[in-house]
Structure 1
Amino acid sequence: MSERRSTGPAASDTSVRRALVMAGVGGVLAAGLIGPGAASAQAAESCPDVQVVFARGTAEPAGLGRVGQAFVDDLQNELSGRTVSVYAVNYPASYDFLQSAPVGADDASARIQATVATCPATSIVIGGYSQGAAAVDLITADPNATFGFGRPLPPAVADHVAAVAVFGNPSTKIGRPLTAVSPLYGANAIDLCNGADPVCSSGDDRPAHSQYVQAGLAQQAADFVAGRVAGHSPSDVVINASAR
């Protein structure tokens, strides 16, 4: 786990597991969220304009990962003049992806919900690469628990999320891009697959899965997200965990 402040339908189980295997190769807050009145004035003053929550890919060292770091760097350049806080999702990102990805989903969800509770005026950006993209899918694009996770973000959180950016998303390989299957986040999402990357397409260009930065897709995502952040106005919403 790391944090930094700066300025700047349904698929079969077999298909799902196969898609997640390709990604491998290449707790939720119990009390829920409370209204903005619970945050102290001091906490409000320290809230960033933008909170980025990003999940790295399989086997990358703890932190943002190479794609995540490039995306964050480009986004900070695009958002010059705004304060940006960055949170690297704390999860194993191991080859045991069926166990690892849900851990990432829970950690990302907890951080996002905590941000909404303490900083309701902050615009949230969610991102992930490869297995990290799968973790993001679990909380934003699978409300019916098609993949067996069943712990999506509370619906009202969507009002606080300016954009979602995923790279090399295994769900895209099986025809479930986040942009198409997420009723709450799809319109503000960008789901990028690099050419014939076999993790997210029917192609077989394995090196493509490691070339998102070189292909300019981190910058493309940053451009998209910056545009969404510019037009975003978080709403003050009270979220009750019992309504989940």
Structure 2
Amino acid sequence: MVFARGTDDPPGLGPTGQAFIDSLRPRVGANSFDVYPVNYPATHDWTNAGEAGIRDAGAHVVSMAHDCPNTKMVLGGYSQGAAVMGFVTSAVVPAGIDPASVPKPLDPEVANHISSVVLFALPSDKAMNFFGEPPVVIGPLYQAKTIQVCAAGDPICSDGMNFAAHDTYSTNTAMIDQGAAFAASRLGGGSGPAWVAGPGASTSAGGLPGAPG
């Protein structure tokens, strides 16, 4: 598991990441389960913080794919961290961005080592524009294995205006379980209820509403 926390969350997984791990761990049964918190600032300086997160997450994913080729990775993130992970999956550098200034896209082969991508409160195109950043585009090789979970009314990942909703993910068991059940189903985990798309959850292949984070 590779997880990127949200803006201003303390170093580590952050509350949403920890809740997600706690829900996912029992669902994978006896399978070994290691967690890597993306090492990045998660500050309001989205350009520099985000780039640092993309570099760190991408480097770890590539290292794991090379050193542990039989390991299936789950990528996850919340809010700014969801944007970081979304960019990690991108097949191309966003338009208007100097390719020399940002991490290059992952080799297509790396996608074979990623079982799922779980994004909580992924910032919508509108939100990313507000932050002065390009929209997050999930790469084609990752779309079918990506779920986006967005709380009702969350202005970061929907057209809602309930700003308080953006802070509810870590305590919203239903939404956390949506992500965990999806990840477990992609890993072949047999514990817990099967994944069924619920309110606020959609796979990228299904055209989930854009979300800012």
Bin for the TM-score computed over the shorter chain: 0.7 to 0.9
**C-alpha distance after superposition, 1:142-197 (max 9, x if no partner):** 5242372462211110001000001111136569676xx42010100101111111
CA contact (8 A) 1:162 1:228 kept: yes
Percent identity of equivalent pairs:
40
Q: Are residues 1:209 and 2:166 paired?
A: yes
**Which amino acid letter does the alignment assign opposite residue 108 of structure 2?**
P
Aligned residues: 178
Change (3 A) 1:100 1:177: closer
Q: Are residues 1:158 and 2:111 paired?
A: yes
Change (3 A) 1:213 1:172: farther
CA contact (8 A) 1:102 1:138 kept: no
Q: Distance in 1 between matches of 2:185 and 2:141?
A: 18
CA contact (8 A) 2:91 2:140 kept: no
After superposing the two structures, state which structure 1 stretch, 136-145 or 122-131, moved more.
136-145
Aligned pairs for 1:1-244 within 5 A: 52-141=1-90, 143-146=92-95, 148=97, 149=102, 151-171=104-124, 173=126, 181-215=138-172, 216-230=174-188
**C-alpha distance after superposition, 1:84-113 (max 9, x if no partner):** 000000000011111101100110001111
- 1:151 is paired with a residue whose SS is coil
For 2:194, the equivalent position in structure 1 comes to none
Q: Distance in 2 between matches of 1:171 and 1:84?
A: 31
Q: Distance in 2 between matches of 1:207 and 1:199?
A: 11
RMSD of Structure 2 on Structure 1 (CA): 1.9
Q: TM-score, normalised by structure 2?
A: 0.78
Largest Rg, 1 or 2: 1
Q: Distance in 1 between matches of 2:104 and 2:154?
A: 29
**Which amino acid letter does the alignment assign opposite residue 109 of structure 2?**
A
Q: In structure 2, list runs of 5 or more residues that go unmatched.
A: 129-134, 190-213
Structure 1 stretches of at least 4 aligned residues deviating more than 4 Å after TM superposition: 172-178
